[in-house]
Amino acid sequence: MQATATTTPATDAARGVIVHPSGPDDVAVYRLYDKDGDLLYVGMSKDPIHRWADEHRHRYWWPEVASYEWAWHGSRAEARRVERELLSTGLAKYNVHSTPKHGPNQHRQREAS
């Protein structure tokens, strides 16, 4: 069973609910939104807060993040499947890999590795 954290867009700072994993192999798929609720980025991590601490220093678009949500999945394979499903829509503004924006060559290269 997956646990989910959700929030509505905030104007001053990113806000959300922290839900901890239920098992040692759980991996979160997270979504970052702007103040209008538009999807900015989709990612996965065993520790989203730690990941974001790094990303906020390296992503020029980080100041646009106003809210987030994440859902825990029981394995990395399941999280990857969900992440790819979300990315395949092409709605995440700043994702490139595993999206229609990147093209078919990238998918073939990733499958080979």
- pLDDT by residue, tens only, the chain of 113 residues: 445 554 443 334 456 666 667 788 899 999 999 999 999 999 999 988 888 888 778 889 999 999 999 899 999 999 999 999 999 888 999 987 766 665 554 444 444 43
Place of tokens 């990857």: 80
What pLDDT is recorded for position 7?
45
What pLDDT is recorded for position 107?
45
Place of tokens 């790094």: 54
What pLDDT is recorded for position 50?
86
Name every residue whose Cβ is closer than 8 Å to that of residue 7 and which is 6 or more positions away in sequence: 15, 16, 17, 67, 68, 69
CATH superfamily for 4-112 is GIY-YIG endonuclease (3.40.1440.10)
Please list the residues that pair with 72 across neighbouring strands.
28
Look up residue 64 and give its DSSP letter: G
Beta-carbon count within 10 A of 3 CB: 14
65-77: buried (b, 16+ CB within 10 Å) or exposed (e) per residue?
bbbbbbbbbeeee
What pLDDT is recorded for position 112?
42
What pLDDT is recorded for position 101?
66
- In whole angstroms, how large is the CA radius of gyration of the chain? 14
Query: Quick one: tokens of 102?
Result: 């990147």
What pLDDT is recorded for position 12?
41
What pLDDT is recorded for position 106?
46
What pLDDT is recorded for position 22?
75
